[in-house]
Structure 1
Amino acid sequence: MPLHQTLKINDSTTIYLWKITEPFEDLFDTVALTDVNYIRLNTMKSEGHQKGFLSVRMLLNHCGYSDFDLYYDEFGKPHLNDGKHISISHSFDFSAIAISDENIGIDLELIKEKVLKIAPRFMEISHLEHLSHQDQMKKATIIWGIKESIFKLENEVGISFLDHIFENPFQLAEKKCTAELHFNNTIQQYTIYFEEIDSNDSEQMSQNYTLVCAMK
């Protein structure tokens, strides 16, 4: 049962990470799905997406929930029947869920070279100055995660990563920063937590991920 890591953000918020090592059949045989989500699973063309979907249900089971406790609103945002807040993310070999008493958004991303190519589309490039190439990739991935997490938390149509969500200056070693959403003539402020996740794969080159959590 590869629960990879548990992160306690505060007294009411915990993030759980699952490392996906099982074959599809083992995951499928372990979890129970609602009829709607069984159909949804079978429409996924990629086995990687299917395994990510099922591993999220493994995390729900670990936390004392099941697929039957989870529902999605009209905008696709997940909720739990008991009123707790939940946010979900999946990237390659990892999935993550956050459960909290507060509204929350999380994003999990594999650190890849591609992020620097698309960075001008979602962030102010000057925020990467004076960093090594590797740290530029890490910081750009965190900034993407900040914007994705806030977008998930707010779940409003029309929010632009580049034009509406702004991270305040931060250092990679701090693992915490603040950000703002400027949208619909209001300014919302958020506390951001971020962590680097090591896949710890001894059989091949270890790959690192960033996990970002946004809270008001």
Structure 2
Amino acid sequence: MAIAYRQQIDDDTEFALWRIEETADDLYKQLQLDETEKAYTKKLSKSKRYLHWLGTRVLLRKMLGTDDYIDAKVDSHGKPYLVSLPYHISLSHSFDYAAVMISKTSPVGIDIEQIKEKVERIATKFMRPEELAFIEEERKIQHLYVCWCAKEAVYKCYGQKEVSFADNITLHPFTFQHHDVLDAKLHKGEVNIDYEVGYLQYEDYMIGYVKG
């Protein structure tokens, strides 16, 4: 199994997708883990969550092109980081895919979601009324998933808790394309950050990705 999709954003930034077809044991054998990580994996059941954890780490290893131990930790806000390598990272997963984004120069955020009808039921929880107003009726589900993935990517890139998707992340109106960019703003207190968020429909998945 190899990388299913890879996109270079600029000279220092890229993301990739890995279709998880291996068994947990096959993925585990491709990793070097310390004792803490080994203990953590034992707590995970042999389920998709376990496969997702392993899959993102295998993909990260492939993208960094190293067989050495990768010391990846999570900070107090839940954002993953590398202790001894000069890369910002972001990890995501959904059903059969793992996604990883890396950059040498800036924080990054990536989100992958399998496209399902249920997003329409929760749209008002993560969208503002003015955002719902630009959603195209004929491609509503895809359009809503772009919005969700874009906001999730911005949230991960910003890297701090207590951010409301509806109240603190605003998307400028855009029309749905299968692969495009949109403008977003994160506003919370004195924080105001503009982002250009890329998105891509890959098979029946939506990916949002952003570099800070």
TM-score scaled to structure 1, two decimals? 0.88
- Picking from 148, 169, 172, the partner of 2:173 is 169
Alignment correspondent of 2:152: 148
- Corresponding residue SS for 1:127: coil
Aligned equivalents of 2:11, 2:175: Cα separation in 1: 25
Aligned equivalents of 2:112, 2:137: Cα separation in 1: 22
Alignment correspondent of 2:134: 127
Q: 1:24 aligned to 2:24? A: yes
TM-score scaled to structure 2, two decimals? 0.90
- Percent pairwise identity: 30
Alignment correspondent of 2:43: 43
Aligned equivalents of 1:79, 1:114: Cα separation in 2: 32
> CA contact under 8 A between 1:5 and 1:17: conserved in structure 2?
yes
Aligned equivalents of 2:171, 2:37: Cα separation in 1: 35
Please tell me the residue identity of whatever aligns with 2:72.
L
Aligned equivalents of 1:108, 1:190: Cα separation in 2: 18
Query: Could you give the per-residue CA deviations for residues 25-56 of structure 1, whole angstroms, max 9, x where no partner exists?
Result: 21122222222222222222461011111111
In the alignment, structure 2 segments of 5+ residues that lack a partner are none
Aligned equivalents of 2:87, 2:70: Cα separation in 1: 14
Please tell me the residue identity of whatever aligns with 2:101.
A
State the Cα RMSD in Å. 1.6
Q: 1:196 aligned to 2:201? A: yes
Superposed, 1:42-191 pairs within 5 Å as 42-45=42-45, 47-63=47-63, 64-65=65-66, 68-80=70-82, 81-101=84-104, 102-124=106-128, 125-128=132-135, 130-132=136-138, 135-173=139-177, 175-191=180-196
Aligned equivalents of 1:22, 1:157: Cα separation in 2: 33
- Corresponding residue SS for 1:172: coil
Alignment correspondent of 1:204: none
Count of residue pairs brought into register by the alignment: 204
Aligned equivalents of 1:31, 1:157: Cα separation in 2: 29
> CA contact under 8 A between 2:185 and 2:192: conserved in structure 1?
yes
Aligned equivalents of 1:75, 1:180: Cα separation in 2: 20
**Closer, same or farther in 2 for the Cα pair 1:67/1:153, shift >3 Å?**
farther
Cα drift, residue 115 of structure 1? 0.6
> CA contact under 8 A between 2:95 and 2:114: conserved in structure 1?
yes
Aligned equivalents of 1:114, 1:94: Cα separation in 2: 19
Cα drift, residue 67 of structure 1? 5.5
Please tell me the residue identity of whatever aligns with 2:140.
Q
Query: Could you give the per-residue CA deviations for residues 102-132 of structure 1, whole angstroms, max 9, x where no partner exists?
Result: 111110111111111111110132232x421
Query: Could you give the per-residue CA deviations for residues 172-194 of structure 1, whole angstroms, max 9, x where no partner exists?
Result: 22610110011022321001000
Cα drift, residue 75 of structure 1? 2.1
Aligned equivalents of 2:69, 2:163: Cα separation in 1: 29
Please tell me the residue identity of whatever aligns with 1:214.
V
In the alignment, structure 1 segments of 5+ residues that lack a partner are 199-207
Aligned equivalents of 2:69, 2:144: Cα separation in 1: 33
